[in-house]
Structure 1
Amino acid sequence: MKKVLILSGHRYPERSRICEAGGKALGTLPNVTVHNLMNACPDFVVDVKREQQLLKAHDVVVMMFPFWWYSSPAILKEWQDQVLEYGFAYGSEGKALHGKPFMVMTSTGGNEVAYTPQGYNRYAVDDLLLPFRAMANLTGMIWQTPALIQGANNISDNGIDRGVNHWLTRLDALLID
């Protein structure tokens, strides 16, 4: 069975109902490691070798985070800048991630309509996640359609349950491929 690494990148995980529910549900699956980056790197100091070993030990990579200012929280960007280095993740010798499925699981404060040309954000979430897709391409990972929970600013407990169940379904599909 494939091993999945979920990089949880919420800046304040203890304040997020979605992060808490998602982490708990995903963490109960066999062969799934939920790696909370704020716990692992509370001062934004990344143990690069440890993080690279985690990546090597898993077959699927998922980044789970709230969509803040059209990107991820800073801890996840710092992780990318430090861990995905030349010679490991890209370059002529950087093949450690080649062929691994990569998925973004994110929540947006605004609802689906907010992320349309007519909505107040003007762009679809898929368009705004283009840097993550480019990262997957450069590192040889296989981009998967993002798994979204939208409308987090006004989401009910039922809505969180539905969204997390969607994430579980998407992850299950990756595990049987």
Structure 2
Amino acid sequence: MKTLVLVAHPNLSQSVMNKAWTERLSSTDHVTVHELYKEYPTGEIDLEREQALLLQHDRIVFQFPLYWYSSPSLLKEWQDVVLAYGWAYGSSGTKLHGKEFMLAISSGGPASAYQAGGFNHYSMSELTKPFQAMANLTGMRFLPTFTAQGVRTFTPEQIAESAKQLADHVVKVY
């Protein structure tokens, strides 16, 4: 199985967690890491290149830090451009049917903040419903999300362990 990881972090070099995840995944067999902000610093996405990458892989992963209860803006732009009607959805939009899809999300706030009665009032599952709906609309199977929450307090050992766990999660057979 070939996996494509779309990394969407506007300041990856400044990130502790997403940088560690990206480095670990880059050395994982059968995983292609594609850094959107590095590839598209002006925000102009190459539709044909991105669609070709999707077709070459069996599993698609969106990796990002939680920004205002969603993904960084370039990932949303990527969705708007690449997941076109007639290609990714619609009566003839079947190119992604049968592929697998998962999320890898980091948050500065702890898991306890993302639940009913918590600081943010909503669970991570509730906040990621639009991504689940995207997977459904495009015919992809939504796999369990990988999260690292409270990353501001992680030790270097916890960061390394999270990167290992993510790599295992991304290649796991579901």
The Cα offsets for residues 55-75 of structure 1, whole Å up to 9 and x where unpaired, read as 001110000000111000001
Distance 2:133 2:146 in 1: 17
**In the alignment, which residue of structure 2 is the partner of 1:73?**
72
Task: After TM superposition, give the deviation of residue 173 of structure 1 in Å.
Answer: 1.1
Distance 1:162 1:74 in 2: 28
**In the alignment, which residue of structure 2 is the partner of 1:15?**
14
Aligned pairs for 1:54-133 within 5 A: 54-133=53-132
The Cα offsets for residues 82-102 of structure 1, whole Å up to 9 and x where unpaired, read as 000001110111111111110
Whether the aligned pair in 2 keeps the contact of 1:21 and 1:160 (CA below 8 Å) is yes
Partner of 2:132, secondary structure, is helix
Distance 1:38 1:12 in 2: 8
Q: Structure 1: which 5+ residue stretches go unaligned?
A: none
Kindly provide the amino acid, as one letter, of the partner of residue 52 in structure 2: Q
| Identity of matched residues, % | 41
Kindly provide the amino acid, as one letter, of the partner of residue 26 in structure 1: L
The Cα offsets for residues 86-128 of structure 1, whole Å up to 9 and x where unpaired, read as 0111011111111111000010111111111121001110110
When normalised by structure 1's length, the TM-score is: 0.95
Partner of 1:70, secondary structure, is coil
Distance 2:97 2:121 in 1: 33
Task: After TM superposition, give the deviation of residue 158 of structure 1 in Å.
Answer: 1.7
The Cα offsets for residues 127-170 of structure 1, whole Å up to 9 and x where unpaired, read as 10000000000000000111001102222212212221221221
Partner of 1:7, secondary structure, is strand
- How many residues are aligned here? 174
How much is the aligned-residue C-alpha RMSD, in angstroms? Answer: 1.0
Distance 1:151 1:7 in 2: 22
Aligned pairs for 1:95-174 within 5 A: 95-174=94-173
Kindly provide the amino acid, as one letter, of the partner of residue 120 in structure 2: N
When normalised by structure 2's length, the TM-score is: 0.97
Q: Structure 2: which 5+ residue stretches go unaligned?
A: none
